[in-house]
Every structure is written in C-alpha cells, then in structure tokens.
C-alpha cells in the first residue's frame, strides 16, 4: 500500500488507509475485518508478540486473496485513469454496462 501511495507507513494511519483502499468494494465489511485481523496478527508475529496463535495455511490463503483483491482494485483504478486521460470516457461507461451484464451471469463478482 505504501508503494501505491495508499498508506504512509505509520501504524496509526493503517486502519484508515486499509478501509479507504477497499472502499470500492462497498459493503465488503466482513472482508475488510478479515484483512484487518490478519494484518494485526502478522504485525504481532513480526514483532515477536504472538506467542499463542500459530499462522495457518488458511491465514496465508486469506492474506493472498486480500493482496490479489487490492492489486485488482489498483489495476482497475489505473485503467480508468488511463481511459480518462485519453479522453475516451465513453469506454468507461460501456465497460460498466458490460460488467453489469456479466454480473448477472456469475455468482461471485468483485467490483473493482
């Protein structure tokens, strides 16, 4: 998140930065809390403060899903910015329409 400018690296601002980074998911509060809990566990483990809860494979998979989701959100934001820079805002509108039709065909859809 620091690399993309979404967080300044200060532990005190992490929660707000995390919430803002995943805000485009709108309503993904359970997902947000899962990521927040896992990052707190990772920080405690890194500091040597986690003596009771081992990191599981399930935890690692959840963190990977969180990272993948964050990167997809950043890629979608970058694509939208590039389209706007090119002056082709109509492409953004048609992309939104095509996503809506795709949503009705699938059960799981993460909205970038």
Is 44 domain-assigned? yes
Q: Which domain holds residue 50?
A: 11-103
Is 85 domain-assigned? yes
Is 71 domain-assigned? yes
**pLDDT digit string, tens, across residues 5-24:** 999 989 899 888 988 888 88
Contact call for residues 29 and 50 (beta carbons, < 8 A): no
Can you give the pLDDT at residue 69? 92
**pLDDT digit string, tens, across residues 35-82:** 889 988 988 998 999 989 999 999 999 999 999 999 999 999 999 999
Is 77 domain-assigned? yes
What's the domain count of the chain? 1
Is 5 domain-assigned? no
- Chain centroid to CA 74: 8
Is 110 domain-assigned? no
Can you give the pLDDT at residue 101? 46
Can you give the pLDDT at residue 75? 94
Give 87's pLDDT tier (boundaries 50, 70, 90). Answer: confident
Is 111 domain-assigned? no
Give 25's pLDDT tier (boundaries 50, 70, 90). Answer: confident
Q: Where are the alpha helices (DSSP H) in the chain?
A: 14-21, 29-46, 57-86, 89-103
Can you give the pLDDT at residue 79? 92
| 77 contact partners, CB below 8 Å, separation of at least 6 | 24, 112
Is 1 domain-assigned? no
């Amino acid at each position: 998140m620091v690399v993309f400018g979404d967080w300044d690296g200060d532990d005190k601002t992490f929660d707000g930065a995390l919430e803002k980074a995943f805000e485009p998911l709108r309503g993904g509060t359970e997902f947000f809390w899962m990521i927040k809990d896992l990052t707190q566990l990772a920080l405690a483990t890194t500091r040597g403060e986690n003596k009771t809860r081992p990191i599981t494979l399930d935890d690692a998979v959840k963190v990977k899903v969180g990272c993948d989701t964050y990167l997809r959100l950043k890629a979608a934001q970058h694509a939208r910015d590039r389209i706007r820079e090119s002056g082709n805002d109509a492409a953004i509108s048609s992309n939104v329409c095509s996503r809506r039709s795709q949503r009705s065909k699938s059960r799981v859809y993460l909205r970038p």
